[in-house]
Each structure stands twice: as C-alpha cells, then as structure tokens.
Amino acid sequence: MERGIELAVVIPVLVLGPLLQPTLNDSAMHVMKYLDWSATKCANAVQGYADVRDVAEAHALVYEAVGAAGKRFLCSERVVHREDRVRILAGFFPQYPVPDKC
C-alpha cells in the first residue's frame, strides 16, 4: 500500500460460458477450433477451465473479503486433459469431426 492503492488480483484460467456479444470471443474460439477442424489434433497437455459466472462471483467475493489486498486468487473450476476435452466435445456434437487423438 505504498501509494494508497489496495489491490487484490483474480487470475482466471480459460473462461467459458454464455456470451454477451453475438460474435465468438477468444475463449469460445479455443473450443470451436476442435469443432470446425481447424485443429486437427490436440496437445498432450491439461487445461484449467472456469465458468464466466463463477469468475464474476470470485471478483465480487475478493472485493468484499477482508484481508484480500496484496493477494492473488486463482480461479479454476476444473482441470481437464485436452484429449478428454475433445472426447467430451465429440459426445455433445457428434455431427462435427473433432480430433480423436492428441
């Protein structure tokens, strides 16, 4: 609080959920690339995910939390291996040619 500013930081992972705008944002495009075949395979890695509504709630909770100043708060609902993610997408959207291997 050297300059009189108290700061707490919410650090979300990949944020997904309902869109406010009619166009796809970067997070939605991250998923869409597996449905439109612009990504023909997935990386052998894991990815953290958070719902946009949970991230908004996390911001409100951190704002109201006593003692939050000077701290960082990671916001993640779950971590999924990318191969599992494409399997989940294939189950929801069987009409799309999602990659089947990482």
Q: Are 49 and 78 in contact (CB under 8 A)?
A: yes
Select the more confidently predicted residue: 25 or 4. 25
pLDDT tens, residue by residue, 53-98 = 999 999 999 999 999 999 999 999 999 998 898 899 899 999 988 8
* pTM given for the model: 0.80
Task: Give residue 75's pLDDT.
Answer: 96
Tens digit of each residue's pLDDT (9 = 90 or more) over 24-34:
999 889 888 88
Quickly state the pLDDT bin for 1 (edges 50, 70, 90).
Answer: low
Alpha carbon dihedral 53, 58, 59, 65, in 10-degree steps, equals 150
